[in-house]
Amino acid sequence: MVALVGVWRQFAEVGLLVLGGMVGGLLFDGLRVTRGLLGSQGTVGVLLDVLFWVIVFPLAWLWLILVNGGQLRLYVWLAAGVGLAAYYVEISPYLLPLLGRMARVARRMLLWMGHGLVAGLAQVFRGLAFWQERGWVGGGGEVEQRVLESGPSVPARTDRKGR
């Protein structure tokens, strides 16, 4: 005897598969924005493509298992295709420019923070150089030079006869 699935469950499965197609489109838009920032030619493009599929394939497989037990049938492809098409027609034209602006702002913030970190480290090293010049750390500098010029502060070691 074949167990039939209720109509509402079938609608829910199709709806979730359409949603999965839309999420796939969103992830691909994320790849497009990343390729725009990092470049899409040569090794970078290939690595980004591989990274995309390494992330998306397991997520899609898990989604399919959760939605319908992992059954890969025609309606799965059709529903995901409808979701992908709906995303690209209705959402992507508005969301892609926004994602691009957000990525550029995030890139500028990261560059700004990186420059701040480099400037802070340079200031620390300048401070260490100042301390080293004064002989406070690491040897060298004015204090050690004065000590060397004035001669030894401890009398030279002599034997029992005073030589």
* 38-49 confidence digits (pLDDT tens): 877 788 888 888
Does a structural domain hold residue 148?
Answer: no
Does a structural domain hold residue 81?
Answer: yes
Does a structural domain hold residue 93?
Answer: yes
Residue 84 C-alpha from the chain's centroid = 26
Distance (Å) of CA 111 to CA 30, 31, 107, 108, 115: 20, 21, 6, 5, 6
Does a structural domain hold residue 119?
Answer: no
Q: Are 141 and 132 in contact (CB under 8 A)?
A: yes
Q: Is the pLDDT of residue 80 over 60?
A: yes
What number is the average pLDDT over the span 114-134?
Answer: 78
Does a structural domain hold residue 120?
Answer: no
Total residue count of the chain as it appears in this document: 163
Check residues 99 and 136 and name the one with the higher pLDDT: 99
Alpha helices in the chain (DSSP H): 7-38, 42-68, 74-86, 92-133, 141-150
What is the band of 106 on the pLDDT scale with cuts at 50, 70, 90?
confident
- The total number of structural domains that make up the chain: 1
Does a structural domain hold residue 104?
Answer: yes
Does a structural domain hold residue 116?
Answer: no
* 107-118 confidence digits (pLDDT tens): 888 888 888 888
Cβ density class 80-103: b for 16+ within 10 Å, e for less: beebbebbbeeebeeebeebeeee
The candidate with the shortest Cα–Cα distance to 26, out of 50, 49, 52, 48, is 52
Does a structural domain hold residue 163?
Answer: no
Range of the domain at 23: 7-109
